[in-house]
Structure 1
Amino acid sequence: MSQESVSATKGNILIVDDQLDNLRVLSTILMEEGYQVRKALNGQMALIACQTLAPDLILLDINMPDINGYEVCQRLKANSQTCSIPIIFISVLDDVTDKVKGIKMGGADYITKPFQIEEVVVRVQNQLTIQRLQLQLQEINQKLLKQNSLLQLEIEKRTQAEIALQEVNEKLQELALLDSLTEVANRRYLDDYLQREWQRSAREQIPLALMLCDIDYFKAYNDTYGHIAGDATLKRVAKVIKNAARRPADLVARYGGEEFAVVLPNTNFLGSVQVAENIQLQLQELKIAHTMSVVSEYLTLSIGMTVCVPNHQYSPSNLIATTDKALYQAKQQGRDNYYTYIFFSCSCFLAENSDESKILCTELGNR
């Protein structure tokens, strides 16, 4: 491989994975994006490839025989010739401890398998952009030391590069707070947002509602229609929920698997019921076939909700636990419905999806 052929591409990427299918899929994706791609089937081959010609970026699997991805990363970071190469771990290990270990080892990013094509492309582009901007900053600093007469011009260039780098970092931060599949908030952002809204609602003594939505018999749906169809359905359900909870302060997040959470600030019982019914109505209108469901021929949701005015006797963790309990009640009563817990100070009421329950909690304010 000549240096000219490498420079003619968007970047030189080394993919390290002991699974041939993964190598083929990733290399095809990246070559179509205009990158020069090299492949290595194990850690030893990867280390040799980096010494022969340092890549601009490495996509590194963790679970490999002989030398695993963590050790490969550690050796590369300990070598002055390869320590600056950005490494993106790409692995089936999706526990937080695995991701934290990868970052501590020197990884620049972490992608879990099965990966989304768009996510891989964006994260690769971001890391290469960061690397390019960092090199530009290094070149600018060298020129500043050598050319005092051009100091002002070089400072301006550095400022521009730093602004561009900040924009890239902000984009990465935004990606870190989104669920890559459904493009709604992820669990991390949900926890932060719920804590902030809890504190605000407690200060102002206004109602706060939390909703958990679970797709009924989704495992059976995946088994029947396949995971690709399941992923597409998760996106459609997320869009339905966002359409129903559309105020600027409302937050829709993927809680995990086929569960979604909705935070509804300044929302009383009637308001939360309205959102729940709108979600179920819009989902019914889509008529997503689900032949393995025992409650309907179409895809349905079970919803648990809690409405309260926060105080020192109750906490966000209590709110989540209570809402999860309400979701359990909705499932126990046949699914495709909703249950709501309503808290007045220390008192609690459980409201089903019935007309009589709608007279409760009206004094908490209007949605």
Structure 2
Amino acid sequence: MSKGRILIVEDDPDIANLLKTYFTSLDYEVQTATRGQEALERTRQQLPHLILLDIVLPDIDGYEVCRRLRTHLRTRHIPILFLTQRDERSDRIAGLELGADDYITKPFDIEELRLRVQNALRRAERESLTSPVTGLPSGRLIEDQLRELLRRSDWGLLYIGINGLEAFREVYGFVAADEVLRWTAMLIGEVVDELGTSEDFIGHVGGDDFVVITRADRAEAIAQALRQRFAEGVGTHYAFPDRERGYLVLTDSEGNERRVPLMSLAIGIVRAGDSVFHDIRELTEIAAEARRREMLLPG
């Protein structure tokens, strides 16, 4: 099982290959980028749990990459460790002021780097900043966004759950179920990129629960696209016989069989004008109730 996704942004191929080989051997999932714009694009496509970021890059420098990541709602939580040959105090301060989590100068000790990466990931999980499975914001970051929401006047909240994930996990195991969660997170990101705005927020509450914060007039279109694309793609996670049948067959301890349909999304939508919300607990309760009502709809 992967310890997390690391994005290495480094234009020196020898250093990039060394780091990729090393962290892959430690069971991390590793991607590389040689340019700043490529790093931003890869981060948009699939959120890494941590970024190792060189400062000197062929197009935009690491400082600008860090600045853009820190000013975007969907990426501001990702731990960033600067890798650089610069050892000037002013350079370190500049990086830390932009929100970098650490600053490592070349040449570096690979074991020290491993520990710094490990500590940064643990710190993010301990502070409930990210989901260890999807890399999406979780815990306190979601709560902060919901509190900010109550001060706005034009918003839509999608509370998303995966029907049938527990039965799928029972048959296929937790590794396959985690892959479904990662795929769902990627799917949500793609749909929000297409139909939402640049300021939309995506979070993984935990388990099979996700949230999307967007504009009120975008919420329904995003929900419809998510339901459709999830239904079109979820079959790839099943074995052929289950996919062809359209359901799982589960047997209880007494030998009784029951049929569980293939997974689907249940999405509750709440908009700013639906009610007067006094706190985030009230908001999330109403969103959960909206999702429960959808789960009870025929089909």
Q: Is the 8 A contact 1:210 1:320 kept in 2?
A: no
Aligned residues: 190
The residue type paired with residue 143 of structure 2 is D
The residue type paired with residue 183 of structure 1 is G
Please say if 1:179 is aligned against 2:110. no
Please say if 1:163 is aligned against 2:58. no
Q: Measured at CA, do residues 161 and 209 of structure 1 come closer, stay the same or move farther in structure 2, by a change above 3 Å?
A: closer
Please say if 1:255 is aligned against 2:187. no
Aligned equivalents of 2:148, 2:50: Cα separation in 1: 32
| Paired position in structure 1 for 2:141 | 189
User: Of the two, which has the highest radius of gyration?
Assistant: 1
Aligned equivalents of 2:297, 2:221: Cα separation in 1: 20
CA deviation map 1:72-129 (0-9, x unaligned): xxxxxxxxxxxxxxxxxxxxxxxxxxxxxxxxxxxxxxxxxxxxxx86997xxx8998
Instruction: Return the offset for 1:218.
Output: 1.0
Matches within 5 A, 1:344-359: none
Please say if 1:301 is aligned against 2:265. yes
Identity %: 18
Q: Is the 8 A contact 2:131 2:138 kept in 1?
A: yes
Q: Is the 8 A contact 1:215 1:301 kept in 2?
A: yes
Q: Tell me the TM-score normalized by structure 2.
A: 0.52
Q: Could you list the runs of 5+ residues in structure 2 that have no partner in the other structure?
A: 1-22, 31-47, 53-78, 104-119, 250-258
CA RMSD of aligned residues (A): 4.0
Please say if 1:292 is aligned against 2:256. no
Q: Measured at CA, do residues 119 and 213 of structure 1 come closer, stay the same or move farther in structure 2, by a change above 3 Å?
A: closer
| Paired position in structure 2 for 1:237 | 184
Give SS of 2:89's match: helix
Give SS of 2:150's match: helix
Instruction: Return the offset for 1:299.
Output: 2.4
Instruction: Return the offset for 1:279.
Output: 0.3
Instruction: Return the offset for 1:320.
Output: 0.9
Q: Measured at CA, do residues 217 and 166 of structure 1 come closer, stay the same or move farther in structure 2, by a change above 3 Å?
A: same
CA deviation map 1:226-258 (0-9, x unaligned): 211111111111111222223212211101111
The residue type paired with residue 266 of structure 2 is S
The residue type paired with residue 244 of structure 1 is V
Matches within 5 A, 1:19-30: 29=26
Instruction: Return the offset for 1:272.
Output: 2.5
Q: Measured at CA, do residues 209 and 224 of structure 1 come closer, stay the same or move farther in structure 2, by a change above 3 Å?
A: same
Q: Tell me the TM-score normalized by structure 1.
A: 0.43
Aligned equivalents of 1:311, 1:333: Cα separation in 2: 23
Aligned equivalents of 2:263, 2:204: Cα separation in 1: 18
Instruction: Return the offset for 1:187.
Output: 2.8
